[in-house]
Structure 1
Amino acid sequence: MDMRIDRRCVDGLCIDGLGLNRLRRALPKAVAAVVVAAVAFGLTGGTAGAQDQNYSLATGSVGGTYYPVGVALSTLIKVRLQPQQGINMSAINSAGSGENVRLLREGTAQLAILQGLFGFYAVEGSGPMETDGEQEHLRSVTVLWANVEHFLVERQHATTGTIADLIEMQGQPMAMGRQNSGTIGSNRMILGNLGVDMDEAYELVYLGYGPSAEALQSGDVAGMSTPAGAPVAAVTRAFAAMGDDIALLEFTPEQATEADGGTGIWSPYVIAAGTYPGLDREINTVAQPNFLAAHADVPEEDIYMITRTIYENLPFLQNIHPATQAMALETAIVGLPAPLHPGALRYLEEKGVEIPDRLRP
């Protein structure tokens, strides 16, 4: 979607003329939130210029997290960099990480939001990317937010309170994600690294997050997995409805290392007490990054400016979606699966981030 903000107007709809409530009704929910925040934070800019460099950012489905975050990013870049730098960005919706890898490869998009695991597949030319081979053009820009692993089981199965309980639940009906989804793919790899063939071990019920929580509440499944930025609405609903009848499983340090399987994608993550109803203590789990990726051919200076603009305007992004609230330079490279783009590398080094050799292009 090509959004233009000019004198507090977007696609011809002006804040002063419609008012905030009318604006929210006039635009899709995710886009309206970005526009309202842009005005509130004073992010206003000019119209497109003849020499603008126009980039497409591939996101995900309109109802997910990738799309509103992508719209926020593209709006930020448009209004901060287009007037003076001629750098313009538009968010496009897609089927998610798998399709986004293809869009980058084919040049339909120059930037994309990707799940860490799909970035790993793309770099290695493995898993669902095996037919396409190694995506040598893929570069990382920054971690956007953590995809936190939430393994919920009925309390009666939580004898240790760790992921070991899930391994002991073989034969049980489990909601581990929709078929061909990134959710089921990441669960398959984690459990595989822990020595369990998920497709053989459980009676899989292929559901999305909301239906998974409903199935857990009704007793149709004994557990579910919902990797996403915390808090996850489906997990909140499950705790609100079931309370102490369910348990959120933890990972010991040894289990976390084993679950990662040497990929470097998953790292320890602490879910704070109070994140979910009745959760009165911290939960130690693991998380993989959702990250901003770019094609290697995008000019270094443009990616440098984009990266700098993101980090100089974090309050704007964090006001749009809670998933980005933990975004910080300290976590900018944690779990990245692909080498950094030279532009991102230059900015992060300027800010004192220590870059390991594996992330240098």
Structure 2
Amino acid sequence: MPARHLMTRRSLLALAALSAAASPAVGPAGHVKRPIVMATGLAGAPYGIFGRRLAREINRRDPALALRVRNTSASVRNLRLLGTGGADLALALGDSAADAFEGVGAFTVPDPVSALARIYLNYTHLVTDTQAGVSRVADLAGLRVSLGARGSGTVTVAQRVLSAAGVEAQVRPRYLGLDDSVRALRGGDIDAFFASSAVPARTVRELADGGRVTLVPLDGVAGILRKVHGPAYVDVSIPAGTYGQASEVPTVGVATFLMARSGLPAETAFRVTRAMFAARLTLPGPEVPGAYLDERYAIGTDPVPLHTGAAQYYRSVYG
């Protein structure tokens, strides 16, 4: 696996400033509707829900924009759509975004993608039936495990967690979205599933309310993943009581980015970023402490560079 780029955020902002100087200034420039496609996630899944609300709030705040949501299986599929021009914006997990930018992992060549913002932190949920006898990742060997929907960033995270535990080749994989994974676990068709979500995940909480659910701890896994795959992975804990559990559960955190195709006009990227931050208090965010749509943290998208228009917005905020 190639080493991650070591360019600093200051360097990225400086580069964006040079690019911006050569482009027309961002301004009102009338109210011409621009059809903008944003790839999100499955309709009832976290990205699908968040993306629909985000598009509605952005359209409401800027009459020059017209976002249209495209439901997909999420991160990997979304980033491929950006690369081919099938979407202008996309929600994606930070590790998948880095892979797309660098042309590694699920991406055979680099895709022309950039970031508008780091939005919020996802918590990796490894959920199992208490009767499956799973207390650590290695116990999944030989069991039926949903890794997430094909084309989602959850699959990437799940495969890397299983690889770190040395059991990737030993599980019996299924590829189900979150809602389908919950139904399959409840029906006894799988033994465990992975999910990437802000906390709490509504469907996981509903499942936990019915009993017989265990959250498997992933303590120490984020550090292993950082060494192998780069800085996208952080150590976090699901707070005690979130799903009725007595104590906090250590796990792996991966940020969600709002991504853009690199060829998106700077003015459009500026307007989208500005409207998103104007709407931050009306968007569904995590219920746990952490950086959520905060300009101080939103530029933390390394190694993915900021889009020129997004960099213009952050300079307008900081002066």
TM class by shorter-chain length?
0.7 to 0.9
- The answer (yes or no) to whether the contact 2:116–2:257 under 8 Å persists in 1 is yes
The residue number in structure 2 matching 1:123 is 101
Deviation readout 1:201-229 (Å, 9 max, x if unpaired): 22334444344334445555443222222
Task: Select which of 110, 125, 134 maps to 2:110.
Answer: 134
The residue number in structure 1 matching 2:309 is 343
Distance between the aligned counterparts of 1:99 and 1:169, measured in 2?
27
Distance between the aligned counterparts of 1:333 and 1:157, measured in 2?
42
Matched residues, number = 287
- The answer (yes or no) to whether the contact 2:77–2:151 under 8 Å persists in 1 is no
Distance between the aligned counterparts of 1:114 and 1:217, measured in 2?
28
The residue number in structure 2 matching 1:11 is none
- The answer (yes or no) to whether the contact 1:143–1:333 under 8 Å persists in 2 is yes
Residues 1:300 and 2:266 are matched in the alignment: yes
Q: Which moved more, 1:120-129 or 1:169-178?
A: 169-178
- Give the CA deviation at 1:349: 4.9
The residue number in structure 1 matching 2:121 is 146
Task: Select which of 328, 340, 345 maps to 2:293.
Answer: 328
Q: Report 1:243-282 matches (<5 A).
A: 245-252=212-219, 254-260=220-226, 261-276=228-243, 278-282=244-248
Q: Report 1:86-101 matches (<5 A).
A: 86-101=64-79
Give the aligned CA root-mean-square deviation in angstroms. Answer: 3.2
Change (3 A) 1:62 1:285: same
The residue number in structure 2 matching 1:224 is 193
Distance between the aligned counterparts of 1:182 and 1:313, measured in 2?
26
Change (3 A) 1:298 1:201: same
Structure 1 segments, 4+ long, off by >6 Å, are 156-159
- The answer (yes or no) to whether the contact 1:140–1:294 under 8 Å persists in 2 is yes
- The answer (yes or no) to whether the contact 1:123–1:338 under 8 Å persists in 2 is yes
Task: Select which of 191, 199, 202 maps to 2:162.
Answer: 191
- The answer (yes or no) to whether the contact 2:137–2:165 under 8 Å persists in 1 is no
Percent identity between the aligned chains? 25
Amino acid at match of 1:300: A
Q: Report 1:175-190 matches (<5 A).
A: 175-179=146-150, 181-190=152-161
Q: Which has the higher contact order (CA 8 A, sep 6+)?
A: 2
Distance between the aligned counterparts of 2:32 and 2:179, measured in 1?
45
Distance between the aligned counterparts of 1:208 and 1:68, measured in 2?
14
Residues 1:113 and 2:82 are matched in the alignment: no
Distance between the aligned counterparts of 2:150 and 2:81, measured in 1?
22
Normalised TM-score (structure 1): 0.68
- Give the CA deviation at 1:257: 0.7
Change (3 A) 1:208 1:342: closer
Deviation readout 1:172-193 (Å, 9 max, x if unpaired): 333333455433332112222x
Change (3 A) 1:325 1:282: closer
SS in 1 for 2:230: coil
More helix by share: 1
Distance between the aligned counterparts of 2:240 and 2:80, measured in 1?
39
Amino acid at match of 1:134: P
Deviation readout 1:306-348 (Å, 9 max, x if unpaired): 2222222211223xx6689962315424565511112222433
SS in 2 for 1:141: strand
Structure 2: gaps of 5 or more residues: 1-29
The residue number in structure 1 matching 2:142 is 171
The residue number in structure 1 matching 2:49 is 68
Residues 1:234 and 2:203 are matched in the alignment: yes
Amino acid at match of 1:247: T
The residue number in structure 2 matching 1:8 is none
Distance between the aligned counterparts of 1:62 and 1:209, measured in 2?
11
Amino acid at match of 1:81: D
- The answer (yes or no) to whether the contact 2:222–2:251 under 8 Å persists in 1 is yes
Normalised TM-score (structure 2): 0.75
Amino acid at match of 1:237: E
Amino acid at match of 1:106: T
- Give the CA deviation at 1:139: 0.5
SS in 2 for 1:259: helix
Distance between the aligned counterparts of 1:331 and 1:308, measured in 2?
15
- The answer (yes or no) to whether the contact 1:146–1:290 under 8 Å persists in 2 is yes
- Give the CA deviation at 1:142: 0.9
Change (3 A) 1:230 1:334: farther
